[in-house]
Structure 1
Amino acid sequence: MSAHPTPDRSAPAAASRRGTDFSETMLGTLWLDGEDRTRAVRLDLRVSADRVLRPLGTTEARATGRVRIHGWADDQHAEGELEIAPLARRRIRYRITFTAEGRRLLLDGWKSVTPRRPVASMTVLPYTLYEDGEQIGTGTLRFPLATGLLPFLAGFRFPRREDTDALLAPRWNGEPGRTEVWYTTVTDPATGTGLWLHHELTAPTDGSAPRAHGWAAVFPKDGPVRHARFGPTAWTGGGTGFHADGIAVRPGHLSGSAQDGALRWELTERPLDEPLYTFPRWSWRRPLLPAAQMLPAARAAYHGTFTHDGTTLTLTGAPGASARIYGHGNARRWAWLHADLGGGDVLEIVAAVSMRPGLCRLPPLVFLRLRRGGRTWPRRPERPAVGWAGWGRFRAAVDLPTWTVTGRAGLRRIRVEVTQPPDRTLALDYSDPDGARAVCRNSERADTHVLLERWWFGGWRTEAEWTLDGTAHAEVGTR
């Protein structure tokens, strides 16, 4: 009889229902207390609700996007919420937090809907600006009907929403030779510090008791990388995420400590986007591939504290993401990138050479997912990896300190260049289920350049371009 706990062998299924997504742009002015002039303001938001909008009721929605205030602020990681109740409460309220010159601010206002002025009341947003609960300015934003109405209406989507809590539940079903990972990467916009939390379940191939272990690491902008391990300890199983020896990953919350409290964290996680399946969705539900990776939310905001060596870092709306891996162990060679491109756009890449006979002789298979403007490209996740019968695959040149991915799908092509400077890269070794050693070289302060081009009238033209200086999360590993 096995001495270790028997897991639930039923794979978790994420329930789904229809939600609502739309984008909105508003222009206006801000009058800061103590100034004798107004400043131009532009607010670009992506709004996401977990249900279809209810005209006769109240709908709570998440908002992310960009706040630009002339000569003062340009925050691509603004976030907040909307209360949409045009008939029930006759208002649409906006509460958006953003950063200006290192100060965390709140834009709070609402459209007062009235049948006497239906157009004006639905398009004019008076607001107040607060810092630490104190008013520091007032202003007005307006929805530009002439140029914004058609894109606004055309941008409405009603996608299926998955239960992200279910995606955190353990997948391991008791089989030997499996590994399962919960990991989180975050960038603190105030200090430029990167964080990495890695939680892992390893079930050895020899059938011995599974073990839980992991580590935490902090990548300061100025100073050396610091890390500490926790475990290995017995895997207790159950729950909705990872739980072992005081370390916990559960919906909306991460907590724990390592190395006798030298590193401690207490973080809340707020999803800002839908799940992102880097590999085909079926490969997560039916583990037929050597491994699969996905993000329960493509983007998330983190609040709380991370303490290392007596220094406490306080996070307020820090951008990042959590991801999941389930499979037989690490690849022979791999590269990974998570890049928050700002304005709600995100890029995720996994390029790997499998350990399986035959597959190990192939060049790295690339899985690339670019979510831009609420849509994900390429449309099918297997397209970069296999192309059309092997032709047209995306290609990866994996090396350090710089690695690249290039590829084309449809009328678009992309080139991604990732640089992991040695002084910002942490090398860690650990064991796979078969006992073999793996080494990952991770940087939560990597540099990335992304060029997206589109074929247009006989030539390639730049469609979008991003440069990330020390805010990309990347890794190169070998076994």
Structure 2
Amino acid sequence: MLGELRLDTEDRARRVRLDLTVSSDRLLRPFGTTGTRATGRLRVFGWADDPRAEGEVEISPLARRRIRYRVTFTAGGRRMTLDGWKSLTARRPVASMTVLPYTLHDEDGVRIGTGTLRFPLATRLLPFLASFRFPRRQEPGAFLAPRWRGESGRTEVWYTTVTDPDTGTGLWLHHELTAPADGSAPYAHGWAAVFPENGPVRHARFGPAPWKPQGRGFDAAGAVAEPGRLTGSAENGALRWNLAERPADGPLFTFPRWSWRHPVLPAAQVLPAARASYDGTFTHDGTTLTLTAAPGASARIYGHGNARRWAWLHADLGGAAVLEIVAAVSTRPGLRRLPPLVFLRLRRHGRTWPRRGERGAVGWAGPGRFRADIALPTWTVTGRAGLRRIRVQVTQPPERTLTLDYTDPDGRHATCRNSERADAHVLLERWWFGGWRTEAEWTLSGTAHAEVGTR
């Protein structure tokens, strides 16, 4: 909603913008009153900009003939409350539904201003109607069960990346099932890697071992990746780990949600939980690292093999914000001539942008695609969706990067260069009254998780 605010101490009006996400635990009740939660961003030009505004919206269109808003935000270090309601009337149905008069109170309850917000029907009605959702409740553990059903030429991956906040050490656990394209027996294998803040990168492989069907996750070659639990060892115990995983967010679909349910793309990726924390131990060469509430995430991949060229980023931005990027060029004829397709998902304040997973990859039937410049040691992704645009720059210093070979189900090889101590700079901008303005900016030094793959 857009409008103005007139503070009691000023003789001029200030421009205001309020963006809210409203959620309810039950369906709306037209003949009753429905209480909802509201989170979002409130901006008062030259006075306040709080991306963590929160409050409640009371929806009572017939019982009380009003929709009441109470939104609390911070301005100048003090908490303020916007309190207003739309008085619904049949004589002016459109105006009464779209105009919100309000009063502004300080943290002591004293009135400090008044204003009016309006919902712009011409530009926001269709996006508003399209935003209605019936939330799908899916537990993170539901995504860990194996997808493979006996087809040849398939790869399935469970991987976890973690940063120890005390030492800055990065960890990478990779579990993989490969079903060769020639119909031979499937096998399980993987590796573990540790990226110390001071010292060389160390890794070790486990497997290959026969794959035995089981329903909870990966359990083969002495390594386990199941809901809430990661254990295993590699290189005769030179690397050992025993970690408890606690999801801290809901699932995040880097690729379109439908591509995970219906595997028609060359591959698809999903995070069972966009963020997680880890407790436990990781031992390498006699040194034991003890983790306590270490941030990270696990992810799943299912497909036909590795891309022709790819880049990947997982960045915990702090404040419950997380950024996931996959940019890839397919090996399939025709698709391999295209520039990298970018799948970018930014979750902050409980919302995921862009709203649809395929938005960055296909744009509007071609134009408007996000762009990726894949190189080393630095690669970038840029793009725009709606009123926001983003620029991401990732640097993988050679001394913090591990080079490994991947083998596809068809026997071909790819090379990945992975760093669990990469650097990243993320700039998010929003179009605001005729120009681009910084909405958020993050700089990660040694805490980003990134990879570049080539053939």
Q: Deviations over 1:361-392 (max 9, x none)?
A: 00000000000111000001100000001000
Residue of structure 2 aligned with 1:412, choices 360, 370, 388: 388
Q: Deviations over 1:392-428 (max 9, x none)?
A: 0000000000000000000100000000000000000
The higher-RCO structure (CA 8 Å, 6+ apart) is 1
Matched residue SS, 1:360? helix
**One-letter amino acid of the counterpart of residue 321, structure 1:** A
Distance 1:433 1:208 in 2: 10
Residue of structure 2 aligned with 1:364, choices 340, 343, 352: 340
| Residue 212, structure 1, aligned to residue 197, structure 2 | no
1:222 is matched with 198
CA distance change for structure 1 residues 22 and 321 in 2, over 3 Å: closer, same or farther?
farther
Matched residue SS, 1:384? helix
1:321 is matched with 297
Distance 1:280 1:320 in 2: 22
1:52-71 maps to which residues of 2 (within 5 A)? none
Query: Residues 440 and 477 of structure 1 are in contact (CA less than 8 Å); yes or no, is this contact kept in structure 2?
Result: yes
Query: Residues 170 and 242 of structure 1 are in contact (CA less than 8 Å); yes or no, is this contact kept in structure 2?
Result: yes
Residue of structure 2 aligned with 1:337, choices 313, 316, 326: 313
CA distance change for structure 1 residues 456 and 438 in 2, over 3 Å: closer, same or farther?
same
Query: Residues 193 and 220 of structure 1 are in contact (CA less than 8 Å); yes or no, is this contact kept in structure 2?
Result: yes
Residue of structure 2 aligned with 1:250, choices 214, 218, 226: 226
1:172 is matched with 148
Distance 1:452 1:339 in 2: 14
**One-letter amino acid of the counterpart of residue 248, structure 1:** V
2:431 is matched with 455
1:150 is matched with none
Shift of 1:18: 6.1
CA distance change for structure 1 residues 450 and 145 in 2, over 3 Å: closer, same or farther?
farther
Higher mean displacement: 230-239 or 387-396: 230-239
2:211 is matched with 235
Which one has the largest radius of gyration?
2
Q: Deviations over 1:50-88 (max 9, x none)?
A: xxxxxxxxxxxxxxxxxxxxxxxxxxxxxxxxxxxxxxx
1:198 is matched with 174
Query: Residues 216 and 227 of structure 1 are in contact (CA less than 8 Å); yes or no, is this contact kept in structure 2?
Result: yes
Matched residue SS, 1:160? coil
RMSD: 2.4
Distance 2:387 2:179 in 1: 44
1:83-162 maps to which residues of 2 (within 5 A)? 159-162=135-138
Distance 2:220 2:53 in 1: 39
CA distance change for structure 1 residues 379 and 265 in 2, over 3 Å: closer, same or farther?
same
Matched residue SS, 2:142? helix
Distance 1:349 1:21 in 2: 29
Query: Residues 448 and 467 of structure 1 are in contact (CA less than 8 Å); yes or no, is this contact kept in structure 2?
Result: yes
Distance 2:25 2:225 in 1: 27
Shift of 1:159: 4.0
Shift of 1:268: 0.3
1:283 is matched with 259
2:373 is matched with 397
Using structure 1 for the length normalisation, give the TM-score: 0.68
Unaligned runs of 5+ in 2: 1-23, 27-35, 41-51, 55-105, 111-132
Shift of 1:23: 6.8
Query: Residues 189 and 221 of structure 2 are in contact (CA less than 8 Å); yes or no, is this contact kept in structure 1?
Result: no
Distance 1:453 1:386 in 2: 21
Distance 1:194 1:446 in 2: 9
Shift of 1:438: 1.1
Matched residue SS, 1:284? helix
1:26-45 maps to which residues of 2 (within 5 A)? none
Query: Residues 208 and 221 of structure 2 are in contact (CA less than 8 Å); yes or no, is this contact kept in structure 1?
Result: no
Matched residue SS, 2:137? strand
1:94 is matched with none
Shift of 1:164: 1.8
**One-letter amino acid of the counterpart of residue 325, structure 1:** I
**One-letter amino acid of the counterpart of residue 323, structure 2:** L
2:164 is matched with 188
CA distance change for structure 1 residues 407 and 23 in 2, over 3 Å: closer, same or farther?
closer
Using structure 2 for the length normalisation, give the TM-score: 0.72
Unaligned runs of 5+ in 1: 1-16, 25-43, 47-142, 148-156
Matched residue SS, 2:361? helix
**One-letter amino acid of the counterpart of residue 222, structure 2:** G
**Aligned residue pairs, count:** 341
CA distance change for structure 1 residues 224 and 374 in 2, over 3 Å: closer, same or farther?
same
**One-letter amino acid of the counterpart of residue 420, structure 1:** Q
CA distance change for structure 1 residues 259 and 144 in 2, over 3 Å: closer, same or farther?
farther
Distance 1:450 1:163 in 2: 29
